[in-house]
């Protein structure tokens, strides 16, 4: 099985084919797991970049939003899930305003 997978990866000519070969086709459990991990990674990187742009340490941000530095660290390393309310508090702590979209 690994040989077939490796051959499929090597035969990939674009990113979609590579992801399909390595993580399975869209709709499979392995692909859903990959998508969730990729989204968590992107969110973690964005949070870290925004914190650094704001000139804050993890500890300073944690203090501003009423949580612990270890939680911010875990978020930035993709090791913790974030609730929407906490995400809004983080944005506010970074000096960003979250508004409801108007129709």
pTM: 0.71
Q: Which is nearest to 56 in space by CA: 76, 79, 42? A: 76
| Regions of the chain with pLDDT less than 50 | none
pLDDT value at residue 57: 96
pLDDT value at residue 102: 61
pLDDT value at residue 1: 65
Domain topology for 2-93: 434 Repressor (Amino-terminal Domain) (1.10.260)
As a whole number of angstroms, the distance between CA 20 and CA 74 comes to: 29
């Amino acid at each position: 099985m690994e040989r077939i997978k490796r051959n499929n990866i090597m035969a990939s000519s674009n990113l979609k084919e590579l992801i399909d070969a390595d993580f399975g086709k869209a709709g499979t459990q392995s692909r859903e797991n990959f998508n969730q991990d990729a989204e968590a990674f992107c969110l973690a990187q964005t949070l870290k970049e925004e914190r650094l742009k704001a000139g804050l340490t993890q500890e300073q941000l944690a203090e501003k939003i009423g949580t612990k530095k270890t939680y911010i660290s875990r978020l930035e390393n993709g090791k913790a899930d974030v609730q929407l309310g906490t995400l809004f508090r983080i944005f506010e702590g970074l000096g960003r305003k979250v508004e409801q979209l108007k129709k």
